[in-house]
Chain A
Amino acid sequence: MRKRTLNRGLAGFWWLTLVFLYLPLAIVVLFSFNSTNSAANFSGFSLRWYHRLLGNDQIISAFYNSLILAIVSSIVALMIGCLIGYGMYRHRHRKLGWLIVLIYLPIVLPDIVFGISEMAFFVQFNRLTGLLEPGLGTMIIAHVTFQIPFVALIVYSRFVGLDPSLFEAAKDLYASPFKRALHFLLPTVKPALISAFFLSFTLSIDDFVISFFTAGPESATLPIYIWGAIKKGVSPEINAIATLMIGAVALAAVLSLLFNRQGRR
């Protein structure tokens, strides 16, 4: 009897928490369809803010910046991180303590410290040499830096999960190092590489703080644009663009669930 009341209470708390988690997103979605620009009451369904969106060059260019930044940084991080992950696996027997510290550093560093140290460094470097002007280039460098550890750890954990004799077998069959990489290593880490790419991509799209401090005047990403629009005074277009981003996340969630189901079957 008592147990049942407890369970009912827990279920109620669970649904309450779900409301808490989804209410702020729901309100953004709802007001993106508002026909007036009132932030307080909903006065009828319309798509005008979405129409406005299409005509806003700043938003379009912010969208492209976000995309370029995420794709390029993920690819670079994938190459560097994959090598590290493999090296970490192959050379575990050596003391790689210093390397592990290096790898974990970008993860434990508070993002505001990360962002401003990159910014301060780039600004001074630019003053001294004229290179690395704040813009997409510096943002890509910063993003690669925080993506590398995630790629390395994913690839490393894939290798660790494999039977070591597989590596011996590949060697015993007199495959050249190049052939081994092409026919054995790459195919085995392919799933890890794909998931690492998607993780890097999401981390990059989702990042605000580090992008904010390493961006130049022409390289605003979507979160930076939204931030600026909020700071300047709320425009209902933000609801529309935010809704599109929420939609993309929801889609990703559904896809990941489907893939997971398939993977388990």
Chain B
Amino acid sequence: MSSQMSTIFTATRNPCRMCTPLGAVMVFSGIADAVPFLHGSQGCSTYIRRYLIGHFREPVDIACSNFSESSVIFGGWQNLQAGIQTIIEQYHPQLIGIATTCLAETIGEDLPQMIRRLQNELPESGPILVSVSTPSYQGSHTDGFRRAVKAVVEKLAQDGPAGRHINVFSGMISPEDIRHLKDIFMDFGLDAMILPDYSDAFDSGIWSRYEKNIESGTAIESIRRCGQAQASIEFGSVGDASASAGDALLRRFGTPLYELAFPIGVRLNDIFFERLRMLSGCEVPSRYVGQRSRLIDSYVDAHKYVFGKKTVLYGPADWVAALAVFLDEIGMIPVLCAAADCTGKLKEYLAEHLGPDKAERIAVIEDTDFASIEEKAAALRPDILIGDSNGYKISRNLRVPLVRLGLPIHDRIGASRITALGYRGTQQLFDRIVNALLETQQDNSPVGYTRL
């Protein structure tokens, strides 16, 4: 076993990362009257659709320029042109978000230049074309997501008189979390633009009209105003600053940027709510005071069940970072923090937020794969795993419960409705963690107590 452990692999075994265009597609799907479009090979768009459909259980439309061999030799201009035309005829969108696949990038397509040319050929009333470079050999799906948000903002943001509204770049979160954030802003009386907002596109009811699928999402008009906002809030403190939309607005319009961790747990939510209090000039609405208080009350009720429990966390670095802080506040120990992407900052973040002593004892790996996570986890003998469905096999092999969070969750129903943000979202997450531990204890007990 130990000789196996020391083997280092050049290959990636059971990948944690999905590819960059997937993130971009999610962003474009969350803009009203916008259609996501991949420039490159058809297979990628089909795979990404299939993957997102497996998670959200909702229709996902991604158009593609469908490269053929000749596009690779002569370039993809004609396919792009024809493809955009087809999309306009079929969807009449106001915006088309175009992301590249690795093939288009590798043959050296100059997408920005092609987009400029295409835009000039389109009538005034035609859709706005936004492009983002997302070769899958560069970064992960979370990077693609951030780059796309930034590309949209850079394209649309306009100067103008300063307003009271705020921008929220909430990152890769569930539709239910988006809805909860909207409620929170509304209750603070804040006029907030959340970008992207796929809460409806990826979690809608039975259709009343097919177009609804593209109609919902962040309004293009509100994105135009984001340069005039009083501030931007951006979640995900360990992400790549060069791909930050908030940072782009700060540089161009001087819009103050508040980079926050995903508000999970009491401490991180307190920071978030304090920020909202200051931005809105309103006291924290009583319902959130109540949610906070009930959350702490439940911590007390369950503290013994979670104390000292060793946890393996995996997912995008920004999620892992926030979750580690949350676990720490309830007395659980994140023994392994494994990031799918590569920020190089996770270790530092944990030292800063948990203290150097605790951080020292956490195994932190970035840019990893599931085979490595499994090998590390086996040695650490965790009590519980928190992450997406792809960790199921580890959970099965190690016989420890898995609390599903993140993307993909393709072996359970309700991925869209999982929440983790705000006091209320944390409450749901906390209950799930505690109950997973209790269930395991119950299942493994020879007596089978009915009261725990």
Whether chains A and B associate is no
B contacts, CB < 8 Å to A: none
Measuring CB to CB, which residues of chain A are less than 8 angstroms from any residue of chain B?
Answer: none
